[in-house]
């Protein structure tokens, strides 16, 4: 075969291949679904937080005093805590915790970050956690990380760190909580969390024993009374719960 004939055949083959490829329908690769990290959490915009409109004379008075004071001053902080405490006592834990975080971000010290952390820890002090209050869990994490830089032995910060990894290893977490309880026998938040964990796992006797001790120390504490109500309802003793409902603020 002559060279020019072979070259012509190759040229025709290349042209036909190119035409065939152009006619072939496009099948673009499907975009890969972006993987969202399970530990990724939304940024907390403390400085942009706005309180809901609350039509209550005492709250309006406190908020007015706070807004008229100069941000960052001792008076401003004192009035901030008054507003935060009022919100917490009236069943608005998320708002109270965010308000406390605003104070701590302005005046960062161990006491302020402990307050934020303990507000956040309330998320874990219920036999029936409310998923709408994930912000509280996030705040306990933020507060503890900030606080540990100031005092690594603080029971509030240590408790919050344990609860962040609770789902990964519950038994190890409970052991760590009991260790904190032994080291700080008067630290009530860790005892409340242990009660709630006992209730969730159906360990009624353990829950009741701790609750009796807490009721002796904190007879009017809303969380302790709510936990007692939960215990009585779960053990078919709802008729005994009425006396505790008075001091229980159901969120």
* pLDDT tens figures, 119-133: 999 889 987 666 556
Give the max Cα distance, the chain: 109
| Mean pLDDT calculated for residue range 7-33 | 47
- What is the distance between the alpha carbons of residues 236 and 182, in angstroms, rounded to a whole number? 32
Query: Who has greater pLDDT, 201 or 12?
Result: 201
Query: In this predicted model, what pLDDT tens digit does every residue of 167-217 receive, in sequence order?
Result: 889 999 999 999 999 999 999 999 999 999 999 999 999 999 999 999 999
pLDDT band at residue 40 using 50, 70 and 90 as cut-offs: very low
| Cα 184 versus chain centre, distance | 23
Cα separation, 113 vs 148, whole angstroms: 9
Q: Where does 51-245 sit in CATH, by number?
A: 1.25.40.10
* Structure confidence at residue 235 (pLDDT): 95
Q: Which residues of 138-149 are buried (b: 16+ CB within 10 A; e: fewer)?
A: bbbbbbbebbbe
Res 32: pLDDT: 44
Q: How far is CA 175 from CA 166, 171, 172, 184, 200, in A?
A: 11, 6, 5, 14, 16
What kind and span of H or E run contains 36? none
Q: Regarding predicted confidence, which is higher, 53 or 110? A: 110
Report whether pLDDT(44) > 50. Answer: no
pTM of the full predicted structure? 0.73
């Amino acid at each position: 075969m002559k060279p020019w004939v072979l070259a012509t055949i190759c040229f025709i083959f290349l042209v036909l291949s190119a035409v065939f490829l152009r006619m072939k329908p496009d099948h673009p690769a499907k975009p890969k679904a972006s993987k969202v990290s399970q530990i990724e959490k939304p940024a907390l915009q403390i400085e942009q937080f706005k309180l809901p409109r609350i039509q209550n004379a005492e709250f309006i008075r406190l908020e007015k005093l706070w807004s008229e004071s100069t941000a960052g001053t001792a008076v401003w902080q004192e009035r901030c805590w008054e507003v935060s405490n009022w919100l917490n006592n009236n069943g608005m834990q998320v708002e109270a915790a965010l308000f406390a975080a605003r104070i701590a971000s302005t005046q960062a010290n161990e006491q302020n970050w402990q307050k934020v952390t303990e507000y956040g820890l309330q998320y874990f002090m219920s036999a029936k956690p409310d998923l709408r209050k994930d912000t509280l869990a996030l705040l306990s994490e933020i507060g503890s990380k900030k606080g540990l830089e100031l005092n690594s032995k603080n029971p509030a910060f240590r408790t919050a760190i344990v609860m962040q990894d609770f789902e990964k290893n519950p038994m190890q977490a409970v052991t760590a909580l009991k260790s904190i309880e032994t080291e700080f026998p008067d630290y009530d938040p860790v005892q409340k969390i242990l009660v709630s964990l006992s209730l969730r796992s159906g360990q009624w006797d353990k829950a009741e024993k701790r609750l009796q001790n807490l009721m002796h120390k904190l007879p009017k504490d809303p969380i302790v009374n709510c936990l007692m109500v939960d215990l009585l309802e779960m053990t078919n003793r709802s008729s005994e719960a009425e006396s505790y409902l008075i001091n229980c603020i159901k969120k």
